[in-house]
Structure 1
């Protein structure tokens, strides 16, 4: 269970969704409907993550002992290390602003709260998780955790929530900044805003190091 929680938290380092939330906080006027829009966006993202997790769990459960053997195989540890090293290289070579154009394109349907807002969140949730090794790794550990089906499938609710924990905290933080721009929250936000590239790089380094460490631990 610890491994599942750890990988779900790694998956929560969703730079694209956090970038969209920050952009909304900056773009929308103080009297804008920020809370409503961001709530719908995160709800849609959560739904996308949860449904993909549900389908993945059904597949993993159907594979039975194959998932357990894969997790115990040295190939799995090597894959984690390789992914960590690739993430490290991409982070070093990245400008930190690679998602800015995509963020601007996503903001169009998010100016007003609507069904489209939920749809954008849903697509972001599915896309982010479907391309995330930590997401699938955590579910694999949950599948072979030894808990009964009821615990595992109800646990998917918490798994999806953990995977959205950092974006949700970011949304709260940005909301506090909008409400109290001259508070410590506002000063901290300004510090991170002018150091956006650094923040993105730190997130990349955290994921890279964590995957590498988990991979090495698997091989020991």
Structure 2
């Protein structure tokens, strides 16, 4: 269970969703419905992560002992280390620019709370998780663990919530900044905004180091 929780938390380092939340906090007018927009966005993202995790768990359970053998194979540890190294190199070479054309395009339908807000969140959650090695690795550990079937599938609710923990904290933090722009929250936000590239890259480095360490432990 520890491994599943750990990889779920790693998956919460979702730079794209956090970047969208921060951009909304900065760009939306003071009188805009920030709380409703972000609540719908995060809820949609959570649902996207949950649906993908449910489908993935059904597939992993159908594979049976093959998942357990894969986790116990040295190849699994090597793949984690290789992914960690690749993530490190990609982070090193990336610009870390949160104000990307992709973020600006995502922001277009998020100017007011609507069904589109939930849909955008759903797509972001599903796509981000589908391209996340920690997401699938955590589910593999959860599937291969000696847990009752009810525990595994109810646990998906917790797993999806873990994957959205950091974006949720970010949304609350940005909301505090909008409400109290001259408070300690506002000063901290301004400090991080001035170091946007550093913040984005730091998230990438944390994932890279964690994957490498988990891979090394798996080889022991």
Runs of 4+ in 1 over 4 A off after TM superposition: none
Identify the residue that residue 189 of structure 1 maps to in structure 2.
189
How far, CA to CA, are the matches of 2:85 and 2:121 in structure 1?
29
Identify the residue that residue 117 of structure 2 maps to in structure 1.
117
Map 1:1-220 to 2 at 5 A.
1-97=1-97, 100-220=100-220
**Would you say the 8 A contact 1:25–1:178 is kept in 2?**
yes
How far, CA to CA, are the matches of 2:95 and 2:131 in structure 1?
20
C-alpha distance after superposition, 1:157-184 (max 9, x if no partner) = 0000000000000000000000000110
Runs of 5+ consecutive residues of structure 2 not aligned to the other structure? none
How far, CA to CA, are the matches of 1:160 and 1:99 in structure 2?
26
The CA deviation at 1:45 is 0.3
The CA deviation at 1:57 is 0.3
TM-score by length of 2: 0.99
The CA deviation at 1:31 is 1.1
Q: Secondary structure at the match of 1:108?
A: helix
How far, CA to CA, are the matches of 1:71 and 1:161 in structure 2?
24
The CA deviation at 1:144 is 1.1
How far, CA to CA, are the matches of 1:75 and 1:98 in structure 2?
34
Cα 1:99–1:211 change in 2 (3 A) is farther
How far, CA to CA, are the matches of 1:150 and 1:65 in structure 2?
19
**Would you say the 8 A contact 1:16–1:99 is kept in 2?**
no
TM-score by length of 1: 0.99
Number of aligned pairs? Answer: 220
How far, CA to CA, are the matches of 1:145 and 1:71 in structure 2?
11
The CA deviation at 1:97 is 1.2
Q: Secondary structure at the match of 2:26?
A: helix
**Would you say the 8 A contact 2:12–2:164 is kept in 1?**
yes
The CA deviation at 1:100 is 1.3
The CA deviation at 1:33 is 0.2
Q: Secondary structure at the match of 1:95?
A: coil
Q: Secondary structure at the match of 1:113?
A: coil
How far, CA to CA, are the matches of 1:30 and 1:169 in structure 2?
20
